[in-house]
Amino acid sequence: GAVVSQHPSWVICKSGTSVKIECRSLDFQATTMFWYRQFPKQSLMLMATSNEGSKATYEQGVEKDKFLINHASLTLSTLTVTSAHPEDSSFYICSARSRALNQPQHFGDGTRLSIL
């Protein structure tokens, strides 16, 4: 149980392109989803928290117009990197948490984004 699917797993695109990443909870309802970014040999850094049906809460230093997050249903959240540039190249990981108290976040397998 508690499977989170993230798609695509790897994307390469040209500078200036917008890229959408999907995160789905397959077997539970995710009231809250989280988006992280991980640079090589570094920790997972939280970018934003999204609750179903409401606007995402962004961490300090994360541009909300650059990283658009939509959490339209209890099983789907999307992250769109708008007008991506090489410095946006990174490993992006989503996680989801169910309504139940004291349940941990369950993570997707991440998306490797490379901007040329």
Point out which residues bind another protein (CB under 8 A). Answer: 4, 6, 9, 32, 34, 41-46, 49, 93, 95, 97, 101-102, 104-110, 112
Residue 109 C-beta: closest distance to another protein, Å: 5
Q: Which of 48, 60, 59 is nearest to 23 (CA)?
A: 48
Residue 84 or 111 having the CB closest to another protein = 111
Residue 28 or 110 having the CB closest to another protein = 110
d(Cα 22, Cα 103) in Å, to the nearest integer? 22
Residue 94 or 115 having the CB closest to another protein = 94
Asked whether the bond before 40 is cis by omega within 30 degrees of 0, the reply is: no
Residue 6 C-beta: closest distance to another protein, Å: 7
Q: Which residue has the tokens 């009231």?
A: 31
Q: To 10 degrees, the CA torsion angle through 115, 92, 67, 2?
A: 150
